[in-house]
A and B are shown apart, each in its own frame.
Chain A
């Protein structure tokens, strides 16, 4: 077991504290390496999985983006041709990029909604468990079903939403949600929010559960009003959870693939095309894997930048909080 001399705070003056400096420094060095090795061991299994299934594929994509290739054809060096085509000639890319950014920028809405819900069900409200379950229910539902049912909900003639809007007299003419260039993307985003708000909710709930109660009690004793308790205790302590939610919001721009694919196929006329659907179409639709790889690299770069900014916004280190 551990043979190092015990460290006790405030032991200055006792015989132990006057250990020869050389031995102490040596012990520290060994302790640091032991710690470093331990950290490495703990990180290793996850890193292995990511190396195999994320990093290697990313490398494959990076290399491929500079080549002309398809399965069965030998690779030819393409230099920056794929990127040139993307930035200079591909209107769909620019549309997809815009749509992806809009999608990401819409995520704070869902996060705020989920925060409100999480706060509400985290209290001693009776039936909180039922509310929690109902709101979470939509997340495990396969995107295929979500897409099809929302496509129907939005239908111009037979759809429920138009039926209700016209029935209550709010509108006269039905709105062609998914056939209109202005409405299509927001409609898809709404369906996505519906599906994902439960996910944000449990991340935030987990975070709320970790906030030590005594902080609130101390604040209450000091007479702090609810808003102050929220702003000074809850929100800062939720920073790591909010960061996770922000990153998920960024991820959503491609995990919503199934939803977009089923609801609109990227249409009409690329109004709901996301970078990820464009990548898939280029790869498996037009059999241009090299070009799809270049798109992947560009999307990756964009998302890394956004994640970096989000990290900065929560104070770095994924929003970690110094515990009491």
Chain B
């Protein structure tokens, strides 16, 4: 009896093993860790160092590092998932982490965080809470950014305006005043819902706190959408706010004929290289009235199919330790949501590049006013529905009232379906 069971087990094992891609099969002897990151291949030298250090601390570990760009990473990951060979650690941007958590692809990190409160205490709690889905925490912060407002001081001076807005109406009136022949007054990025603070600051939210019903179809919501549509129509808001992605809007602001740009911190570093007019004196840095912002952060997750979850967790702890996180922040000039690291790094940066420090400071302030992400597994489906109607409104194809009513119906249907 035992012999037959052994034979069956051996047969099953061989059959299963024959499905494994040759490479991984060959490595079941040593401990292997595979890490997939999101478009940070330029950090290769730093990561090589990290891997060497980690390997000296954990002998016998092999590390495979993969890096893919944003549009292709989901396709790559899902394919590997379907084939049963997902990378152990994944760097995920924004709400996609919640979607994959809902799919059951990620490991719940709450028990690990509970067991080691010191690790949990490293992070800014609001950024950490960004990735809590159905009460479980699936990602820990890797590096974070959120939206803020840049403005073109010379253009404001020429229009005779002192920049001190207190509401959306102020911003829109500034935009009107600055816009002109070939200038526009205001531009926003829209991917990952970076534009949402414009609504949130008017008290309009997408869903109820229990995430069960849409709440954007209110008089306030309609009014806000209407205002934005009118401002787009008269040229104060640059139309590529609603259709552009990265290069276009940033390129336009860098060209120097846009009054304000609502974007996240990485945009600053990009436009600085493209726009010769940008100097510490000419670029204005502010938050929107009310300090609302949409985060566009990256988090580390562990795949549920990871072969060595404890090893993966050990690496995550290592990577978010003060020295590593500090090196990463220095290497890319960003904030990591590791509170101590951010404080120290910004103190350093203040001396070398005060403007960059000012930009980054906004990324870790007012983190109680984060919006633009809803902890649903079909968060992107809901967003796609609403965004399509928003585009209809802002570009003048439909009026706010009917478009938002339509969107509300479709969102209700989607929430029921999920």
Contact = CB atoms under 8 A, between A and B. Distances in A.
A binds B: yes
A72 B391 contact: no
Contacts of B104: 70, 72-73
A149 B107 CA distance: 42
A158 interface: yes
A179 interface: yes
Contacts of A285: 74, 380, 384
B413 to A, nearest CB: 7
Interface in A241-289: 261, 264-265, 267-270, 281, 283-289
A169 interface: no
Interface in B208-265: 238-240, 242-243, 245, 247-248, 251-252, 255, 257
B78 interface: yes
B384 A269 contact: no
A148 B247 contact: yes
A322 interface: no
Contact of A156 (B75, B99, B239): B239
B74 A284 contact: yes
Interface string B293-311: 0000000000011000000
A71 B257 contact: no
Interface string A147-164: 010011001111000000
A179 B105 contact: no
B389 interface: yes
A180 interface: yes
B105 A72 contact: yes
B121 interface: no
Given A71-B81, A72-B103, A286-B381, A268 B255 contact: no
Contacts of A264: 243
A124 B413 CA distance: 64
Interface in A85-127: 85, 89, 91-92
A176 B417 CA distance: 37
B117 interface: no
B103 A73 contact: yes
B13 interface: no
Contacts of B417: 85
The winner among A92, A269, A281 for most chain B CB atoms within 10 A is: A269
A269 B252 contact: no
A188 interface: no
Nearest to A174: B182
Q: Helix, strand, loop or mixed for chain B's interface?
A: helix
Contact of A157 (B257, B380, B381, B413): B257
Interface string A128-169: 000000000000000000001001100111100000000000
A180 B71 CA distance: 25
Interface in B178-225: 182, 184
A194 interface: no
Interface residues of A, number: 35
B395 interface: yes
Contacts, number: 82
A176 B384 CA distance: 22
A158 B59 CA distance: 56
B82 interface: yes
Contact of A179 (B243, B257, B384): B243
A287 B252 contact: no
B291 interface: no
Interface string B101-114: 00111000000000
Contact of A284 (B78, B255, B388): B78
A264 B239 CA distance: 13
A216 interface: no
A287 B100 contact: yes
Nearest to A148: B247
Given A264-B243, A267-B243, A157 B182 contact: yes
B392 interface: yes
Contacts of B395: 179-181, 268-269
B378 interface: yes
A92 B252 CA distance: 30
A178 interface: yes
B381 A176 contact: no
Nearest to A280: B75
B397 A287 contact: no
A72 B243 contact: no
Given A179-B240, A286-B384, A269 B74 contact: no
B378 to A, nearest CB: 7
A155 B243 CA distance: 11
B81 to A, nearest CB: 4
A73 B100 CA distance: 12
Nearest to A157: B182
A157 B378 CA distance: 37
A313 to B, nearest CB: 36
Given A265-B245, A269-B389, A286 B105 contact: no
A243 B347 CA distance: 68
Given A179-B395, A284-B75, A286-B380, A268 B82 contact: no
Contact of A71 (B82, B99, B243, B413): B82
B11 to A, nearest CB: 23
A322 B392 CA distance: 54
B384 A157 contact: no
Contact of B413 (A89, A176, A180, A269): A89
A157 B380 CA distance: 31
A9 B380 CA distance: 73
B255 A158 contact: yes
Contacts of A281: 384
B248 A72 contact: no
Nearest to B105: A72
Contacts of B103: 70-73, 287
A269 B407 CA distance: 12
The 4 closest A-B pairs by CB, nearest first: A269-B391, A179-B239, A71-B81, A71-B82
20 contacts: A72-B105, A72-B305, A152-B248, A156-B240, A158-B251, A179-B243, A180-B395, A267-B243, A267-B391, A268-B391, A269-B388, A281-B384, A283-B78, A284-B74, A285-B384, A286-B99, A286-B378, A287-B78, A287-B99, A287-B100
Interface of B: 71, 74-75, 78, 81-82, 99-100, 103-105, 182, 184, 238-240, 242-243, 245, 247-248, 251-252, 255, 257, 304-305, 378, 380-381, 384, 388-389, 391-392, 395, 397, 410, 413, 417
Interface of A: 70-73, 85, 89, 91-92, 148, 151-152, 155-158, 176, 178-181, 261, 264-265, 267-270, 281, 283-289
Given A73-B104, A268-B242, A268-B243, 5 more contacts: A72-B81, A91-B410, A283-B78, A284-B75, A289-B78
